[in-house]
Amino acid sequence: MKILPSEITSYNKYLNRRRFIKSSVATGLILGTSTSLYANHLSNENIYDNQLDENDKLNSFEDITTYNNFYEFGMGKTDPSENSGNFKSKPWSISLEGLINNPQVLDLEKLLRQVTIEDRVYRLRCVEAWSMVIPWQGFPLSELIKIADPLSSAKFIQFVTVFRPEEMPGQTRRLLPWPYVEGLRMDEAMHPLTILSTGLYGHDLLNQSGAPLRLVVPWKYGFKSIKSIASIRFVDKQPEATWSMLAPSEYGFYSNVNNFVDHPRWSQGTERRIGEFKRRETLMFNGYEEEVSHLYKGMDLKKYY
């Protein structure tokens, strides 16, 4: 693994309030080459320590890559790791569409040459009331938005994953309306915490984690962080999102982690951190309240759950 000099200093200044990035060192990924990275991610685990919050401990690479919700590969938690072997994440391109000045189909390798990959250790809180701590590698979504150069009429972004039933066995059944779609409001998408991830533990994303490129929005329930993104559409109205389309009373468009708004069928007040015995209290905005609550000022979060 090659360590590139990072541009974190300037980024750090920009985010000097945020403790999560205190002294982050970017893990350089060898990008633009087609060889996969099989870094010895376990031996240098401690490089993420400075980004870890006090009460958090990283989940293991194995936990993170064998306990997944990715219905494209099946409904069970181990299905994605077991059934995603035939998925082709290379080559990959992302189509930028809609209300933008630069609509284009972007080759992923070309895109990755234009951005700086950073380490981001985030908590991931699933709507099913379990959570993990994951050391992601990725770049702010805002960088891609800059490349797209949205018109002022673009208020929301919709993300679409692929429909490849021959590579994604779950898509041969109508478990969900395929392809999976998700969306963010523009200010949420531009927020510095929102990243597009290409790897975790210094390792290219495995198929079950959403290879080769996925969204990570740490203050929202996990299903908002759409995997294997194929196109990004800039739109003027709140776009459809798979789960809130399917069960609007259970999954809202915003789906911010909110311990005061329960899922109709279960409590969101506590969560099981994978690897821990006792449940933890769930934190407002998954513990990123300081960073993101201003986005929702004046909004009734019980109504816009």
Partner 1 sequence: MISTQSFKKTKPLIFLIIITPIFFWAYQFSNGQLGVNPIEKLMDNLGEMALRLIVLTLFISSLSEFRKFRFLIEARRMIGLFAFFYVTCHFLTYIVLDHFLDFNFIFKDILKRPFITFGFISFILLIPLVITSPKKMLKKVGYKIWKRIHYLIYPAAILASLHFYMLVRANKIEPAIYIFLILLLLLYRLFYRVILPRRAQ
Instruction: Give the interface with partner 1 as residue ranges (CB under 8 A).
Output: 62-63, 66-67, 71, 75, 77-78, 128, 130, 173, 175-176, 246, 262, 265-267, 269-270, 272, 274-275, 277-279
Question: Among residues 2 and 278, whose Cβ is nearest to partner 1?
Answer: 278
Question: Among residues 27 and 268, whose Cβ is nearest to partner 1?
Answer: 268
Min dist. Cβ of residue 17 to partner 1 (A): 34
Question: Among residues 53 and 128, whose Cβ is nearest to partner 1?
Answer: 128
DSSP state of 40: -
End-to-end CA distance of the chain: 41
Q: Residue 266: phi, psi to the nearest 5?
A: -155, 165
Min dist. Cβ of residue 66 to partner 1 (A): 6
SS3 at position 154: coil
What's the Cα-to-Cα distance from 128 to each of 77, 103, 215, 249, rounded to whole Å? 12, 36, 19, 15
Adjacent-strand bridge partners of 136: 120, 200
22-26, long-range: CB within 8 Å, 24+ apart, which pairs? 22/50, 22/51, 23/50, 24/50, 24/51, 24/118, 24/119, 24/120, 25/50, 25/119, 26/116, 26/117, 26/118, 26/119
Q: Could you tell me how many residues make up the chain?
A: 305
DSSP state of 72: G
Min dist. Cβ of residue 274 to partner 1 (A): 6
Question: Among residues 140 and 252, whose Cβ is nearest to partner 1?
Answer: 252
Question: Among residues 175 and 299, whose Cβ is nearest to partner 1?
Answer: 175
Question: Among residues 164 and 279, whose Cβ is nearest to partner 1?
Answer: 279
Min dist. Cβ of residue 166 to partner 1 (A): 20
Min dist. Cβ of residue 272 to partner 1 (A): 7
| Rounded-to-5 percentages of helix, strand, coil across the chain | 25, 25, 50
Q: Please say whether the dihedral angle defined by the alpha carbons of residues 46, 51, 55 and 59, taken in this order, is positive or negative.
A: negative
Question: Among residues 58 and 196, whose Cβ is nearest to partner 1?
Answer: 58
Question: Among residues 44 and 270, whose Cβ is nearest to partner 1?
Answer: 270
Min dist. Cβ of residue 94 to partner 1 (A): 27
Min dist. Cβ of residue 208 to partner 1 (A): 12
What's the Cα-to-Cα distance from 259 to each of 31, 184, 188, rounded to whole Å? 39, 21, 20
Adjacent-strand bridge partners of 207: none
Question: Among residues 20 and 71, whose Cβ is nearest to partner 1?
Answer: 71
> What tokens does 124 get?
């991931």
- Among the listed residues 245, 76, 83, 239, the one whose alpha carbon sits nearest the alpha carbon of residue 177: 245
Min dist. Cβ of residue 256 to partner 1 (A): 19
Min dist. Cβ of residue 175 to partner 1 (A): 5
